[in-house]
Amino acid sequence: MPRANKPASIKRTVACLAVAALCSPVHAGCDRPVYLTFDTGHMGVAPLVAEVLQRQQVQATFFLANERTVTEGTTLDDHWAPWWKTLAQGGHVFGSHTWDHLVWLADEPNGFKMKATAGAQSGQILHVTPQAYCDELARPAQRFQAMTGQAMAPIFRAPAGKTSPALLQAAQACGWHHVPWTPAGFLGDELDSDRYPNRQLLGRALQNIRAGDILLAHLGIWSRQDPWAPAVLEPLIAGLKAKGYCFATLREHPEYRAWLQAASARLH
């Protein structure tokens, strides 16, 4: 796929992101790290998640989309701006989840067939060019900077984790590196709570997670009746610590730290 053309505004955005993402040092003494990540959701549990992370002194990585919330707004609206700013001041790392939570369905000759699952076009099938997808990735970064005064790292997670080689190539051409999760890191908060109760999910995670795993959870899932967070979150963190694991952000992950360093070098 040909390299996507980058408007000057997007080039400037990616430039500041790459440099800012290198500001924090690698955590010393963390030789068995796991990487806790959260995607946005309905935000009903977001304040409790932040309290647990603060109490446990754990930093995480958050992937932001502008999704519908229980407060009858969206995750990146003015209601939530102070919450994101406080979180950013706590040293967490932030990446893009696309603005309208676009789920990849198929490659097309001129781009991608996608389904919007947030925003005014939610539920609609869209035909998205590579440049339009780059713009979708950049919008959460621009909003995050406006809310917090800080830059977003040039990493992203595709909604539902669905990608193709062409999609990843298009994103990388405009400065974004995709972050999936590892199989054992799927924490199950999207699953039906009757079939997969919290106690079962906690036990499975404590048994299966290993050093280097990227863990996936959300800031609220509409379909889960018995919320995963914070019920499982704090016992999971405490249990993993007891087993000798430590928590780090993707800023310290070997693969993504190398990407951030290379992105910075290309700008100088």
CB 222 within 8 A of CB 11: no
Residue-wise pLDDT for 40-51, tens only, equals: 999 999 999 999
User: Tell me: the pLDDT tens digits for 94-130?
Assistant: 999 999 999 999 999 999 999 999 999 999 999 999 9
Whether 59 is covered by a domain: the verdict is: yes
Percent of the chain with pLDDT strictly greater than 70: 86
Sheet containing 102-108: order of strands: 102-108, 111-116, 125-128
Is 1 among the domain residues? Answer: no
Please indicate, yes or no, if residue 245 is contained in any of the structural domains.
Answer: yes
How many domains does the structure of the chain reveal? 1
CA dist., res. 266 & res. 258, Å (int): 12
pLDDT tens per residue across span 214-251: 999 999 999 999 999 999 999 999 999 999 999 999 99
Nearest-angstrom CA–CA distance, 237 and 259: 27
CA gap 250, 21 in Å, rounded: 10
- Model confidence at 264, pLDDT cuts 50, 70, 90, reads low
Q: Report pLDDT digits (tens) over 145-163.
A: 999 999 899 999 999 999 9
Two tokens at 29? 């003494």
Residue 109's contacts (CB-CB under 8 Å, 6 or more residues apart) are none
As a whole number of angstroms, the distance between CA 80 and CA 102 comes to 21
Q: Report the pLDDT value the prediction gives residue 13, as an integer from 0 to 100.
A: 36
Q: Would residue 12 count as lying in a domain?
A: yes
- Other Cβ atoms within 10 Å of 135 Cβ, number: 19
Phi, psi of 208 (to 5 degrees): -100, -25
User: According to the model, what pLDDT value does residue 136 have?
Assistant: 98
Look up residue 224 and give its two tokens: 């889960």
Instruction: For residue 128, give both structure tokens.
Output: 């998205």
Q: To which residue do tokens 């676009």 refer?
A: 102
What are 25's two structure tokens?
Answer: 């040092």
How many CB atoms sit inside 10 A of residue 20's CB? 17
For residues 142 and 266, which has the higher predicted lDDT (pLDDT)?
142
Please report whether residue 78 resides in a domain. yes
Quote the mean pLDDT of the chain.
89
Share of the chain above pLDDT 90, in %: 83
pLDDT for residue 56? 97
Residue 222: name the closest of 47, 84, 69 by CA. Answer: 69
- Tell me the pLDDT band of 258, cut-offs 50, 70 and 90: confident
User: Is 163 among the domain residues?
Assistant: yes
Residue 261 has pLDDT above 50, yes or no: yes
- Return the DSSP state at 62: E
Q: Which residue has the tokens 């999936």?
A: 180
Rounded alpha-carbon distances, angstroms, from residue 189 to 24, 38, 122, 227: 30, 11, 22, 7
Tokens of 40: 């946005």
Asked if residue 111 is part of any domain, the answer here is yes
Q: In this predicted model, what pLDDT tens digit does every residue of 164-200 receive, in sequence order?
A: 999 999 999 999 999 999 999 999 999 999 999 999 9
By residue range, what is the domain housing residue 172?
Answer: 8-25+34-266
pTM for this one?
A: 0.88
Q: What is the pLDDT of residue 268?
A: 53
Q: Is residue 201 one of the residues assigned to a domain?
A: yes
CATH number of domain containing 55: 3.20.20.370
- Beta-strand ranges (E) seen in 97-166 are 102-108, 111-116, 125-128, 155-156
